[in-house]
Amino acid sequence: MKLTKQITGLYVALTLLIGAVACNSNTNSVQSPDGTISFSVTIKEGKNAVYSVKADKKEILKPSELGFVIAGADTVTKFNLLSVETDSFDETWETVWGESRFVRNNYNEMLLNMQQYNGDLKLNLRVRVFDDGVAFRYEFPTQDVDSLVIMEELTTFNFADNHNAWYLPAADPYYEDHFYKKSIAELDTVRTPLTIEGLNGKYFAIHEAQLVDYPKMDLYGVGTNELKAQLVKWSSGEAAFIATPFVTPWRTMIIADRVGDLITSNLMLNLNEPCAIDDTSWIKPMKYIGIWWEMHLFYTTWYAGPRHGATTKRMKEYIDFAADNGIPGVLAEGWNIGWEGDWPRNQHFDFTKPYPDFNIKEITDYAKSKGIEVIGHHETAAWTTNYENQLDAAYDFYKSYGIDNVKTGYVNILMDGKERHDSQYGVRHYRKVVETAAKHGITIDNHEPVMPTGWQRTYPNLMTQEGIRGQEHDAWDLDGGNPPQFTTVAPFVRGLAGPMDFTFGTFNFDNPNSPHARVQTTIAKQLALYVVIYSPLQMASDLPENYRGNKAFDFIKDVPVDWDTTQVVDAVIGDYVVTARKDRNSDDWYVGAITDENAREYSLKLDFLAPDATYVAQIYADGDDADWVSNPTSFKYEEVQVTSNDTLQLKLATGGGTAIRFAKQ
Ligand code: NOJ
């Protein structure tokens, strides 16, 4: 069965050859299907080619630059236009898992076939305009030169106003930083997704799609409204080695009227290739627990010894808890030889040698007898050659014990001591891992990734990724952990790049080993995050002993990880988020509402529920005396019968939230 099924198949090919002529002055435009967004490219003889974007007839991007610095070909920014082709496309496809079951992919396309002005290089620009944004990519067609070295990409985004942007600085190699807000003119070098709150009331998000054999694009500011692309380089200084024909990743900009529409946009997924896996029945979204948080709290260790975490006995306890509570997966970290000493220096992690006190056969047999999936772990310490040399053997080893899901990790500043995670080298490695895993029937939860760009459409075995300052920072970070505001920003910035393995679920907020750090939420907010932050693998990260007997755990047991529909009911980035999602496998709806450090009340209209139906709202709310600093565990549970005509009054404590299951009667 294919992931991507064409549900409504309207494919209109309007290929129109406008003319195989070199034009002296020429502006070509393409509009979104609803006519509200337009993308224009102007090519004038001897001048830099530029593009611009309008929405609702207003200028969004002023003339912005295109082109490259290519080794041996100087700066390639001036072109002759050879011909123009246009196309339209409209289909609805079904996701294997995701935030919505069906996705409409509807755009108008323009392809500009160009040749370097006063030069031989052929370079085409393919533009797609959707109702929710624009995308373009460069295409190097087959030509006399069969390999090229890209030194720089010269794409810019020249905004019409000096809007405010929510950004992740470009410093941290793992994208594990705080989010900040500044005007475009004040930005230094930042990551994408870059999320912009327009002075004109619109929202924009710049990112990329289908980054496959190319470096990541960061953006840097120059003190004006213009942002420039900056490709991550190889250690030798080049950006990308390419062989023609070649296409770059898509440069994308979502354009939204409501901030929530950034989250429900499927532009990035639509710009990736359809599913490459024929039978996807083995790919299962699920919740999991595991031997993990206890290491981050420094109770147990990854390495073998008196405090070793991943022992046969401890795994069986986790498996028992998972089986008793309907949690399908159990992760084991620190199960294999290699964790001794300063392990990021260890080039010799062995992915087929368990520690003696981790009896993999006994553990996996036991898990199987209880219907539980063991989730494996490959911490590579970013020694990618060592990992690639073992890839097939490592996956065969796990498969021989029935392990189908693997969490990977790349804790080290550089890959193989040399290259950046988001360089072309790194991107190639991650792609190889995902493709090899797919061949072996293995799913991947990738930590320390390159920023995601929608590969899960093509390879839905790539379930979720880190690339976020996840909850582990709340266990030990010297700055104390993520402040309450953090999760009210994350869905609108990093979240636009795809699922996040954030690993919430804390019920016990004391960590005697790192008293300086804390999960900075209430317990009800921990629950609400399962709805607000999307991932097809969601961890309940706390220890089983902290969940037993706590009513709040019922919400974690019930909440799905795969959705039929998603609606962002309301949000202000950095203040609060209210998200409603309908379960893919039942008629139930779920709501998560979270706030920053400010307590707030919210009137939740239930008009997203099916009309003419009755639901029991199972409400997990902050207790009257809850606050994240002094009373995070105070919560209350109540049930009320509701219909879509009702409104619920939510009271969120400081750093708090509300989680609701609407069980259809
Ligand atoms: C960092 C990962 O994010 C974390 O989840 C993992 O436990 C450690 N590396 C060890 O692999």
Secondary structure (H, E, C), 136-176: EEEEECCCCCCEEEEEEECCEEEECCCCEEEECECCCCCCC
**Residue 89 vs residues 85, 104, 109, 651: alpha-carbon distances, Å:** 14, 10, 8, 45
Distance 466 CA to ligand 1 centre (A): 9
pLDDT confidence of residue 333: 98
Task: Please report, for residues 106, 208, 215, 226, 270, the alpha-carbon distance to residue 134 in angstroms, rounded to integers and kept in the order given.
Answer: 12, 11, 21, 17, 12
Other Cβ atoms within 10 Å of 598 Cβ, number: 14
109 catalytic per annotation = no
CA dihedral defined by 292, 298, 301, 302, rounded to 10 degrees?
50
Q: Choose which residue among 339, 411, 473, 477 to substitute to test ligand 1 binding: the one with the highest number of ligand atoms within 8 A of its C-beta.
A: 411
Q: Residue with the nearest Cα to atom 3 of ligand 1?
A: 447
* Ligand 1 atom nearest 448 alpha carbon: 3
Query: Which portions of the chain are predicted below pLDDT 50?
Result: 1-24
Q: Which of 298, 300, 346, 472 to mutate to test the pocket of ligand 1 (most atoms within 8 A of CB)?
A: 472
Q: Coil, strand, or helix at residue 530? A: helix
* Distance in angstroms (rounded) separating the CA atoms of residues 265 and 55: 16
With the most atoms of ligand 1 within 8 angstroms of its CB, the residue from 177, 291, 292, 333 to mutate is: 333
393, 427, 424: which is closest to 410 by C-alpha? 427
Strands 194-197 and 226-231 turn out to be unpaired
pLDDT confidence of residue 25? 53
Tell me what pLDDT residue 146 has: 94
Letter string b/e over residues 543-569, b meaning 16 or more CB atoms within 10 A of that residue's CB: bbebbeeeebbebbebbbbbbbbbbbb
Check 45, 379, 472, 639 and give the catalytic one: 472
Our CA angle for 577, 580, 581, nearest 5°, is: 135
Model-level pTM? 0.96
Q: How far, in Å, is the centroid of ligand 1 from the Cα of 380?
A: 10
Pocket of ligand 1 (CB under 6 A): 292, 333, 379, 409, 411, 447, 466, 472
In the sheet with 373-379, reading across from the earlier edge strand, the strands are: 462-465, 443-446, 405-409, 373-379, 329-332, 286-291, 537-539
| Nearest alpha carbon to residue 580 among 596, 563, 592, 571 | 592
- One-letter amino acid of 11: Y
CA pair distance 600, 519, nearest whole angstrom: 20
Ligand 1 midpoint to CA 468 (Å): 12
Task: Read off the tokens for 452.
Answer: 């995601």
Rg for the chain (alpha carbons), in Å?
25
Question: Distance between CA atoms of 316 and 321, rounded to whole angstroms?
Answer: 9
* pLDDT at 74 (0 to 100): 77
487 CA → ligand 1 middle, Å: 20
Half-sphere exposure of 35 (CA within 13 A, CB side): 0
Q: How far is the CA of 469 from the centre of ligand 1 (A)?
A: 12
Identify the residue whose C-alpha is closest to ligand 1 atom 11.
379
Ligand 1 atom index nearest CA of 503: 5
Terminal-residue alpha carbon distance, the chain: 33
The pLDDT of residue 347 is: 84
Q: How far apart are CA 555 and CA 558, in angstroms?
A: 5
User: Residue 296 Cα, ligand 1 centroid: separation in angstroms?
Assistant: 9
